[in-house]
A and B are shown apart, each in its own frame.
Chain A
Amino acid sequence: MRVESRLIPSAKADAVVKALGALAAMLIAGLILQATGKDAAYLGTQALDQNLGSWPQAQQMLLLTTPILTTALAVYLCTRLRVWNIGVGGQMLMGAAAATALGLHLHGWPTGVMLVTMALAAMVTGALWMVIPALLRAYWSVNEVITTLLMSFVAQKLVEYLATDAWNDPAAGIRSTPVIPYDMPLLPGTVLHVGLFAPLAIAAIMAFVLRRTTWGYEVDVMGANPEAAGAVGMPSKRRMIVVMMWSGAIAGLGGMVQLTGTLHALSADLGTDAGLYGFIVAALAAGSIVGLIVIGVLITMLLNSGIALATDGVSQDVVVALYGFILLLGGLGQVASRKRLVRRVAAAPKAAAGPSPAGDPPERVAAAGPVAETTAERSA
C-alpha cells in the first residue's frame, strides 16, 4: 500500500478522519484527566447523562444548540466564498442589543408584531456590523479575520457598557438590563421556545438558495475560482459584500432569538463564545449543511458536558482546550481528503487520475466544469 495524491478531494476520507480526530482528542483529554487523578470513565458517563439522561436535561441541551447552530450557519455562508467570519459572536451580540433596545423602549406592542420587528432590527444591525469588514475585504483585500474580530471586540465592550451603564437597572443586578417583556412562545409542555427551529429554517433556506438558484451557483463558482468568476463577468466584489452582510444578519437574528428565547435580558457577561463555538462547527463541517447540524449538536453536547463537569472540578477551560484539539485533529480530515491509499501495482495509475496531470490545485479542477458551462450559456 502507498499514499497517493487525489485531484478531487474526497468528502468521505475527510469525514472519517475528522471523526477519528475528534475521538482521539477526547481520548487525550480523558487520559490527561485520568493522569490528574480523576475518574475519566465516570466523568464520561456524567457528561452523557447531562445531555441525554432525562427529557428535561435533553431540553436544556437543545436550547443550547440554537445560538451555536445559528452562528455556525452564518460562518458557513461566508466559507462558500472562502471568507472567514470570526467576528460572528460580535454580530450576534449586536443583534441581541438591537432587540433589547426595542424591547426596553417600546411598551405595549402585541408580542408577535414586536418579535418580528425585533428580528428584523437584529438582522439589520448584525448586517451593518459586517459592513466595514466586507467593504475592506472586497475592495481593499484587508484580511477579514482581523477586521471581523476587532469589530467583535468593539461589540463586546459596547454591550458591556449598555448592560452596566446606559440600560442598566440596579434592581436586575449591576451587570444586566431589566427583563424584556417580550418572550418567544414556548412549545406546549416543554421549556423549549419556537426559536429552536430558527437554525433549521435558516439551514433549509440556505441549502435551497445555494443549490437551486443562480445567485447561489455564482457564489459557489466565485468561491472555487475567483479569477474565472471575474472573467465571465460575475460581480464578485458586490456578491462578496452581500454574502458577508447576510452572514452578519443571520448572526444578528441568532442574538435576538437567544435574547427573547433564553436570556430575557442583556447582560455584560454574554461574551462572544457562542460565535467561537459556531466557528468551530462550521470549520469542521467543511461544506456540508447536514454535517454542520450533526457536528453542531455534538459540539453543543460537549459544551453542555463542561457545565456538568464543573461540579466535578473540571473547569470550562479544559473544554476550551479540548475544542482546540478537536479543531486541530479534525483539520487532518482536510489532509486525508487530498490523499488516498493505493495498492502497489506495476502500471502507473497516474494517467487515469484526472483531466490535468500537470496538476492544477484540486478546487480549480472541480470548478473548471461549471465555469465552462457558464461561459457557454452567456455566449449562447
Chain B
Amino acid sequence: MSAFTSALHIAVAAGTVIVLAGLGELLLERTGVMNLGIEGIVSIGAVAAVLSALTVHDPWVCLLIAMAAGMAGGALFALFAVVLRVDQVLVGLAIFLIGIGLTNQLGAHQSNVPVAVTFGVVNIPGLVDLPLIGKALFNQPLLVYIAYLVLPVAATLLLFRTRHGINLRSVGEDPAAADSAGVDVTGMRVGYCLVAGALQAAGGAYLMLSFTPSFSASPAGGRGWIALAAVIFAGWVPWRLVFAALLFGGMISLGFTAQAQNWNIPTVVFSELPYVMTLVLMVAFVARLKLANANLREVAPAALGEPYFREER
C-alpha cells in the first residue's frame, strides 16, 4: 500500500465512530433533544463490547450487546431529560460521568488486553482493485460500509421522504404544533433517545472490535464530543456528517502518517489538530451561513434543548 492509500484507509476507519455516534445524535437533535452524554455512551458501548467478547465469539453479537447497553443509557437519559424534563445539559453531563465512571471501573481488568473477537475485512469485488483509493475505501469491515453508506442514506430517506420523518422534524421545530396535530412528542423523543444510544454505543463497539482492539481507560478519547460538534457543522444533515467524519478521520490519520514517515513535526501539533480543526470547521460553517445572510439558529432545530411542557401551551 502506498503512504496515501494507508493514510486514507486510517482516515476512513477513524471517522467511522464519528458517523455512527454523530448520526444517532443528529436524529435525536432533530426531535429537539440534545444528549451531551455521547462520550459516556460511546464508552459504555466500548466496554460492553470488550466484556461480551470474553464469552461470545461472534463480533456481531458483541455489537448487539453493546447497542443494548447503549439503549439502556439512552433510556436513563430519556427518563430524566424527556419524561421528567430536567435540564438536558445537566442530564447529559450526568450520563457522561456515569458512563465514564462505570466504563473505567468495569473495564479495569481488561486494560491493554487485546480483544479476542474482531470484525473481519470485507473486500468489495472490482472496486477494491481501483488504484490508490481501492484498498483504502473498499477493504474495510462491513460495519464501516454500513456506517458510511447504508445508515446515512437510510437516515436521509427517513427524515426527508417519509411521514414519520416529517413528524420527527416537527417535534424538533415546534413541539406544541406537532402535539396538536396528534404527534406523540414524548414518545418520539424517548424513542430517538434509544436509537441514539444504540448508534452511539455501536460507535464504541466499533472502536474495540475493529479500530483499536484493546481496552484503555476512557476508550472514547474525546470522540464523542467531536461527534457532537460534527453534528453542528454538518448542519443537521446526514450526508454532510459523512464528510465531517472523513475530515476528522483525516486529522487523526495525519498524526499516524507523520509518525510512520518521520516528518519531524512535534506530536503536540497532531494531538491538537482534531480539536482545533473541529473548532475551525464549526466557525467556517457558521461564517458561511452568515455570508448567505442566515444564522445557526435558523438551521438548528428550533426547539433544540428545550423541554416540552404541554400544560403551559
Contact = CB atoms under 8 A, between A and B. Distances in A.
Question: Are A and B genuine complex partners?
Answer: yes
Interface of A: 5, 84, 86, 132, 136, 140-143, 145-147, 149-151, 153-154, 157-158, 160-161, 165, 276, 279-280, 283, 315, 317-325, 327-328, 331-332, 334-335, 359-361
Interface of B: 36, 40, 76, 80, 84-87, 89-91, 93-105, 108, 222, 225-226, 228-229, 232, 266, 268, 271-272, 275-276, 278-279, 282-283, 286, 290, 295-297, 309, 311-313
A310 B207 CA distance: 29
Nearest to B225: A149
A324 B295 contact: no
Nearest to B283: A136
Contacts of B102: 317, 321
Nearest to B105: A317
Contact of B108 (A147, A315, A320): A315
Interface residue SS majority, chain B: helix
B98 A328 contact: yes
A140 B86 contact: no
A327 B97 contact: yes
Given A132-B279, A141-B296, A325-B98, A154 B91 contact: no
A154 B85 CA distance: 33
A234 B239 CA distance: 41
A24 B279 CA distance: 39
B292 to A, nearest CB: 13
B101 A320 contact: yes
A147 B279 contact: yes
B94 A315 contact: no
A336 to B, nearest CB: 10
A84 B286 CA distance: 20
B272 A157 contact: yes
Nearest 9 Cβ contacts at the A-B interface: A321-B101, A324-B97, A324-B98, A320-B101, A161-B268, A331-B86, A328-B94, A317-B104, A327-B94
Nearest to A319: B101
A161 B271 CA distance: 10
23 contacts: A140-B286, A141-B297, A143-B232, A153-B275, A154-B279, A158-B272, A280-B93, A283-B90, A317-B101, A320-B100, A321-B98, A322-B101, A324-B93, A324-B96, A324-B99, A328-B76, A334-B86, A334-B87, A334-B90, A335-B84, A335-B85, A359-B311, A360-B312
Nearest to A5: B311
B101 A331 contact: no
Contacts of A147: 279, 282
B172 to A, nearest CB: 15
A282 to B, nearest CB: 11
Interface residue SS majority, chain A: helix
Nearest to B287: A140
B50 to A, nearest CB: 15
Contacts of B105: 315, 317-318, 321
B214 to A, nearest CB: 18
Given A318-B101, A359-B311, A324 B90 contact: no
A150 B225 contact: yes
A154 B97 contact: no
Contacts of B104: 315, 317, 320
B296 A142 contact: yes
B90 A361 contact: no
Given A140-B296, A324-B40, A331-B87, 4 more contacts: A86-B93, A141-B297, A321-B98, A324-B98
A320 B225 contact: no
A24 to B, nearest CB: 13
A321 B104 CA distance: 10
Given A331-B87, A335-B86, A325 B279 contact: no
Nearest to A314: B105
A330 to B, nearest CB: 8
Nearest to A333: B86
Contacts of A86: 93
A13 to B, nearest CB: 14
Contact of B101 (A160, A324, A360): A324
A328 B268 contact: no
Nearest to B268: A161
A322 B104 CA distance: 13
Contacts of B95: 324, 328
Nearest to B40: A324
B75 to A, nearest CB: 13
Given A142-B296, A149-B225, A317 B268 contact: no
Nearest to B286: A140
Contacts of A360: 312
Nearest to A362: B312
Given A324-B94, A324-B101, A153 B225 contact: yes
A325 B95 CA distance: 8
A321 B272 contact: no
A157 B275 contact: yes
Contacts of A279: 93
A321 B97 contact: yes
B80 A140 contact: no
B9 to A, nearest CB: 25
B64 to A, nearest CB: 24
Contacts of A154: 272, 275-276, 279
A361 B313 CA distance: 9
Nearest to A322: B101
A126 to B, nearest CB: 18
B97 A323 contact: yes
A63 B104 CA distance: 27
A141 B302 CA distance: 12
Contacts of A150: 225-226, 229, 275, 278-279
Contact of A332 (B84, B101, B228): B84
Contacts of A359: 311-313
